[in-house]
Structure 1
């Protein structure tokens, strides 16, 4: 596979006037982590209030369940700083959790019953109650087990200097923000086409605790290990498969990424589309509501996509309203498993690879992606999720079968040139080193994260849960022994205190009933 357009752009951007345009990539990370007891069971305690209020603390909050913490870093141009921020936030929160631990995996720990998974509670303000009712809807639509799955979200934006240089190189006369949005959508289309590679390299959930199935049968060829571990011999990322974040009702939605208006229209239609599946569940107007509304999507965030175009929203704006107002500001990658071999859940080597891969997705040509094309990309992803490390696995590329190794080799051949360009601009070798490191996984699947994890379990005939508890204890001790790097305990204490005051303020400012508040919200949305 040869993409002359990518080569042409790299050559043009390597000219003296554009050579450093790529410098200044900005990133932010959201890492989810399940709170567990020392024996590996899910923690049933409330969110640690000493760490701040989950509604108003911008760095330490909860995700879908009360036990699922979420750590959110500020935007930074230095990936080492971002990882240090994650480390500090986790260190601080662990100090407020007593003897509880952070589960270092994506697929959850042993959970005896779905009722053990408490919905995240955000207080008694209208917006807080809306967040919890949204999660009640998710529970009633998909079950609580899904709400215990953890992941890592990687946010990235490219610098203005790159957009200026790209416009000159491509001789584009488009308005700048329209040009930026168009390019980000091209990145998204290319990412979706080759997302399977991320699952292959970074998928770290080839196994799960059999309690996750809650007694249900699975068509997947699971094998058993230890007390209660089920695994797929060649699996990579069960979190991204049919057992993870899925919504079968969404298969009928026509949300595409060929232009911004098309994306916004598709998503808004889904918000307003009545669902036959969920029509019997009581909505927010009922005395005992079971969901926000009876549509296929309660709100836009329910749309499950491995990558999203994003814009920081103003107060009261929905995500699509923000995009319609000012275009795409950054993209959010939602396809990353928690890396069990990193105490922060993601490694520097992964970040460096993602920088290169996403730059590659941005700079190469990005043909339109129809709904049918998207279904083919999803079929490739599912093949890799379940069988990615199987020798001679074939995927579909441009309507023809191709082996995973061949396609991955073609991609890496181009990533090398992108990494060289980025290293030259940054006077470094980190990007080429990252490509060299992860390229070894093509010929040796055991070097992938899923391969390493399964090798550990099988070599030691170890249950996945016991290994995860070992890692959780190891990482807690490491956090306790390390000093704060970017924050301090006192500054995080101050943030926690301020978040509780901010949440009280939100309650005091409410001047509508909850039903009237939601009436206004959905009318404006």
Structure 2
């Protein structure tokens, strides 16, 4: 099961480090009014300055709020950060405002020209206007959950100390391992779409008449109907990743390297060209719809599943470099098929998904990750055998006149009421204060939670 690197890690009893990823979360949600339409209220003052607050900001629309957490060493820490910042945003909303819990936006107006784009400064606003010209209004409105994942540095040190003859430097190894994980997630992105897809329909005026699917599907957002540029990246290695994006910009297929919105992005240097020299610092995983059954759009067990997948990709054999592009291209095609299946249907790729989860279960047992991981695998295996237990299938049971508005508003109201009951709402973003991650940790919890405390791996 293990690759040479995986066996080395296993023999040195360092497997726990391969699942000890640091994670940050970015969760987008639309602000809506009490009728279920995009809010007309200004950006909430209690959320700070959308241009400078790193923890609550905007993306594309002025109503598209994005909550960003500091990096956290454990799944529960990440979720506590997310919950607390999400609550701070909710308590800053105007009376009657709610956060829409679905990835696909609420009903849009027929005339979209008056809906304001995010006010993020002249450079970003010029980019958004150009993006709007190229893609149209609707494509920018779906929201999602992004996971930022970084490898424990001890993994690089351990492997390089004993395999330095195979890598030019520790940085070369670092870039290699991040690319290896990215390849794995892209190869099995369709499994994630099946298990977590939660955007079966679009509300009024998202599609023009005659466009869009004729029936509910697993995930509009993860399909070709969904968000943004369909430009395909090259994940063979970090240099080819950079070269491909720069080629896209040169050919006019991308406005800038910022517009590359692949399912995985290499992050670490804002100057893309310098990234191979300075090294990938983390991966941005962009393949999750919002989970409306959670007030924060994602569940702790989902983070654990992503940790398990990433650890498995580190420890097992890589694809051959010459195979990567073709394998990822085929996986993209499979993802398109899976995303467009009816939510109640057994997937065409059920047997493949079953085999992959069985392999993950074998791996989890071999390294003795713990019952919380095995319980999550059990639940997800049930989704593969019983498609009606998937998020999209459950959502379509709430359809009323081909709309999920009633359901979404019930959930949104419930989550908003709970947030407003908090005993000590966080007010630290008021007055455009700039708060560091350390200050945020201290002020956000004040004894109610202790992030990064010594404890068993979550």
TM-score bracket relative to the smaller structure = 0.7 to 0.9
Match in the other structure for 1:337: 289
The runs of 5 or more residues in structure 1 that have no matched partner are: 123-127, 223-231, 274-294, 395-403, 500-525
CA contact 1:420–1:431 (8 Å) conserved in 2 = no
SS at match of 1:450: helix
- Tell me, in whole angstroms, the C-alpha distance in 2 between the residues paired with 1:41 and 1:455: 22
CA contact 1:41–1:109 (8 Å) conserved in 2 = yes
Structure 2 residue aligned with 1:131, among 124, 131, 134? Answer: 124
Match in the other structure for 1:302: 259
Question: How does 1:204-215 map onto structure 2 within 5 Å?
Answer: 204-213=198-207, 215=208
Distance 1:245 1:417, change over 3 A: same
Match in the other structure for 1:150: 143
- Tell me, in whole angstroms, the C-alpha distance in 1 between the residues paired with 2:89 and 2:346: 45
- Tell me, in whole angstroms, the C-alpha distance in 2 between the residues paired with 1:372 and 1:246: 22
The runs of 5 or more residues in structure 2 that have no matched partner are: 436-458
- Tell me, in whole angstroms, the C-alpha distance in 2 between the residues paired with 1:344 and 1:212: 24
Distance 1:393 1:346, change over 3 A: closer
- Tell me, in whole angstroms, the C-alpha distance in 1 between the residues paired with 2:253 and 2:19: 41
CA contact 1:306–1:333 (8 Å) conserved in 2 = yes
The alpha-carbon deviation at position 11 of structure 1 amounts to 5.5
The alpha-carbon deviation at position 247 of structure 1 amounts to 2.9
Deviations 1:163-208 (A, max 9, x none): 3344467675421111111111121122111100000001100112
Deviations 1:8-66 (A, max 9, x none): 76555343542443363100000001000011011123322331111110101000111
Deviations 1:257-282 (A, max 9, x none): 11211111111121222xxxxxxxxx
RMSD: 2.4
Structure 1 residue aligned with 2:80, among 80, 84, 88? Answer: 84
CA contact 1:9–1:169 (8 Å) conserved in 2 = no
The alpha-carbon deviation at position 116 of structure 1 amounts to 4.3
- Tell me, in whole angstroms, the C-alpha distance in 1 between the residues paired with 2:78 and 2:423: 16
CA contact 1:119–1:135 (8 Å) conserved in 2 = yes
- Tell me, in whole angstroms, the C-alpha distance in 1 between the residues paired with 2:104 and 2:357: 29
CA contact 1:152–1:337 (8 Å) conserved in 2 = yes
Deviations 1:88-143 (A, max 9, x none): 21221222211210000000001113224311112xxxxx2000111001111111
Match in the other structure for 2:102: 105
- Tell me, in whole angstroms, the C-alpha distance in 2 between the residues paired with 1:17 and 1:392: 40
Match in the other structure for 1:193: 187
Distance 1:106 1:392, change over 3 A: closer
Distance 1:48 1:490, change over 3 A: closer
CA contact 1:13–1:169 (8 Å) conserved in 2 = no
Which has the greater radius of gyration?
1
- Tell me, in whole angstroms, the C-alpha distance in 2 between the residues paired with 1:9 and 1:390: 41
Match in the other structure for 2:444: none
Structure 1 residue aligned with 2:152, among 133, 156, 159? Answer: 159
